[in-house]
Amino acid sequence: MDKNIKIGLAEFIGTFALCFFGAGSIVMTADVVGAGALITVAAAHAIALIVFISGTMYISGGQLNPAVSLGVFLAKKQSGSQMVLCMIA
């Protein structure tokens, strides 16, 4: 498989999982009142980030945020085409 396809796929799956688990935790705690709901939503986002950044680190660098991709590009550690690919994914 082409390296760019692997990078795009890894970024897409990681970003999808973050949005899926984050939104799912918000929906599941919609009727809960108090700090428990906030802690649950924050924990779901944190666990998703920990798992998927660690999982995509060796493939794409774990850049699940377009701002991170821009920073890596500005630090001259990544090509412009890979930056755009990661931002689109």
* pLDDT per residue as tens digits for the range 38-85: 899 999 999 999 999 999 999 988 888 899 999 999 999 999 999 999
Domain that includes residue 31, residue range: 3-88
Q: pTM above 0.85?
A: no
Looking at the structure of the chain, the number of domains it has is 1
Residue recorded with tokens 């799956």: 13
Q: Helices 3-28 and 80-88 meet at what angle, rounded to 10?
A: 30
| Overall residue count recorded for the chain in this entry | 89
- Specify the pLDDT at position 36: 83
